[in-house]
Amino acid sequence: MRLYETEIDSRLLLGTAQYPSPAILQDAITASGCQVVTVSLRRESAEGSGAGFWDLLRASGCQILPNTAGCHTVHEAVTTAQMARDLFNTPWIKLEVIGHGDTLQPDVFALVEAAQILTQDGFQVFPYTTEDLVVGEKLIEAGCQLLMPWGAPIGSGQGLRNRDGLRAMRAHFPDTPLIVDAGIGRPSDAAQAMELGMDAVLLNTAVAKAGDPVTMARAMAQAVIAGQQGHAADPMEPRDMAVPSTPTLGLAHLSELEHR
């Protein structure tokens, strides 16, 4: 998988918030096999724990994807991205511009505007968006080379609420990396996203808030691999009627044998 100029082997991207402890976070990152972790500027710069948290991320060997979590305006998002670039020394930015307080749905108008400003400033933008095709086209026109449609509201664990919309997005953008971001709650959700042809999934709460985050991280990694391989194998289409798996040709007809 190629994300801008960077090649990534693992198709699971992991968030770093809400874990019970730094040690569990570190073990979850290792168990997931991920190569990209997201982190917010607020989390890194927290007094007292910031330096230790940054040391943990560096020790993981993962690529850092800063995000603009909690931003509600173009100005907030752009300013946060610029500060994150200085702190993490990376042009990558996961761009979030929240428009609705309850669902945390992106403000797609502000998102496109912020993406255009940031790409012109040299950022490589990972936009958190909806599955709307027109918005996707506008983001690509703004300079984004990948899209991150939501599966469901952030932290909800509802899975893929609009599979048809994601399927249409895959067909409409066949050559654009698509990463399902938000809403994944179970390994089966991650597998379904990959079966639809998505390039990767990004999740946080499903692992961080699991009873056993390390085991869940490992399960998510396995689900992503299974879903990707299932998609590559060209699975059969659903049928309206049953079709016997055993050929009927050559089967004995007991009624005829009884008459004999």
Secondary structure of the chain: what % helix, strand, coil (to 5)? 45, 15, 40
Residue 210 labelled as part of a binding site: no
Cα torsion 85, 89, 92, 95: sign: negative
Position 251 scores a pLDDT of: 65
β 2-3/6-7 pair status = antiparallel
Q: Which of 151, 154, 144 is nearest to 177 (CA)?
A: 144
Q: What is the DSSP letter of 170?
A: H
Least confident span in 66-70, 82-86, 252-256: 252-256
Place of tokens 């994300």: 3
Asked whether residue 1 is assigned to any structural domain, the reply reads no
pTM: 0.88
Domains held by the chain: number = 1
Residue 155 labelled as part of a binding site: yes
Domain that holds residue 26: 8-233
Least confident span in 15-19, 82-86, 87-91, 102-106: 102-106
Active-site pick, 94, 138, 170, 218: 94
User: Alpha carbon 41 to chain centroid distance?
Assistant: 19
Query: How confident is the model over 144-157, as pLDDT tens digits?
Result: 999 999 999 888 88
Least confident span in 105-109, 205-209, 247-251: 247-251
Asked whether residue 255 is assigned to any structural domain, the reply reads no
Identify whether 209 is a catalytic site residue: no
Residue 67 labelled as part of a binding site: no
Cα torsion 114, 14, 41, 89: sign: negative
β 12-15/200-203 pair status = parallel
| % of the chain exceeding 70 in pLDDT | 91
Asked whether residue 143 is assigned to any structural domain, the reply reads yes
Residue 16 belongs to domain with CATH number: 3.20.20.70
68 and 80 Cβ atoms separated by less than 8 Å: yes
Asked whether residue 98 is assigned to any structural domain, the reply reads yes
Query: How confident is the model over 240-259, as pLDDT tens digits?
Result: 888 877 776 666 666 655 55
